[in-house]
Structure 1
Amino acid sequence: MLGALEVVTIVVVGVMVGVEFSVAFVMNRIFSGLPDDSNQAARSHGGRMLGALMPFWYVGSLVLSAVWAIAGWHQPGAGLVVIAAALLIVSVVMSLLLLVPINNRGKTWTPESRPTDWKEQMNHWDRFHYVRVAVIIGAFALLAAALG
């Protein structure tokens, strides 16, 4: 049973890392190459769509990691799983304190209603997101290493 939990956790966290990496290094760069109205509309739509999904994914990844840490407490690699879960906690806290407030504003903007500093706000979001991506990549790597 622990083996199945390990695989499910790594797959769920790994896919989350892939989505967030893609947002950071592919999608937002594509959006930035569009005219301002299209760029802002794409980011707003993405913020609404992913903003509805990602809380469950982040919390689900954290819960799976915590269950793995508890269930495999006496297994080799348990310390790595605990550190990975701690990194996932950091990612959730970062999301709530830094990214969600910007996302909540941005997802309501239209070309007619966006503030004049919308690009600056999106750049702040991007920088915070790069750090969050690094944190969840670290968690993913630790979970993978815990299997070894």
Structure 2
Amino acid sequence: MTETLHVLVLLGSGTVAGVLFAVALSTVPALAAMPPDRYVQAHTLLGRNWDPTMPLIVLGTTLLDLWLAFRTTASAPRALIAVAAVCLLGVSVVSHFRNVPINRRVHRTDPADIPADWADPRPVWRRWHLLRTALALVAFTANSLAVTAF
């Protein structure tokens, strides 16, 4: 059972870290280079299939990490797994309370009628995205160390 949980937390945290890293590396710069109307169109198209897939993976992996933290008796792996759980919870909080509200605002914007005083959300969205990417990478690293090094 524990080995299966190890595989699942590595798969989950690796998926989250990989997806967020890929978005930071490729999608964010591409969106930043677009004029506002094309950005709104592209952002809306790109965001269609994230929910509920990514929240389920993030929260599911967080719960598995918490379960493993309570089941693990060795202190170093338990601490690493707990760090991973906290970081994944951070990914969820940043996503839910920072990035998702920006996404909703962008999706309500009519690309054919962007006002002259439009507040471009891309720099703020990018900063929050980089934070959750860093948290996801720390979670994956902590899970990897916990299940392979001990």
TM (norm. structure 2) is 0.85
Which residue does the alignment assign to 2:45?
45
Q: Distance in 1 between matches of 2:34 and 2:90?
A: 33
3-state SS, counterpart of residue 88 of structure 2: helix
The answer to whether the aligner puts 1:112 opposite 2:120 as a matched pair is no
Residues 44 and 108 in structure 1, CA contact (< 8 A), matched pair in contact too: no
After superposition, what is the alpha-carbon deviation per residue over 1:105-135, rounded to whole angstroms, capped at 9, x for unaligned? Answer: 112333124454352x122111111011001
TM (norm. structure 1) is 0.86
5+ residue gaps, structure 1, are none
3-state SS, counterpart of residue 6 of structure 1: helix
Greater percentage in helix: 1
Residues 8 and 61 in structure 2, CA contact (< 8 A), matched pair in contact too: no
Alpha carbons of structure 1 residues 44 and 3: separation in structure 2 relative to 1, 3 Å: same
Identity of aligned residues (%): 27
Q: Distance in 2 between matches of 1:114 and 1:141?
A: 41
3-state SS, counterpart of residue 111 of structure 2: coil
Which residue does the alignment assign to 1:58?
58
Question: Alignment RMSD, CA only?
Answer: 1.9
Query: How many residues are aligned here?
Result: 146
Q: Distance in 2 between matches of 1:55 and 1:107?
A: 19
Deviation at 1:95, TM superposition (A): 1.8
5+ residue gaps, structure 2, are none
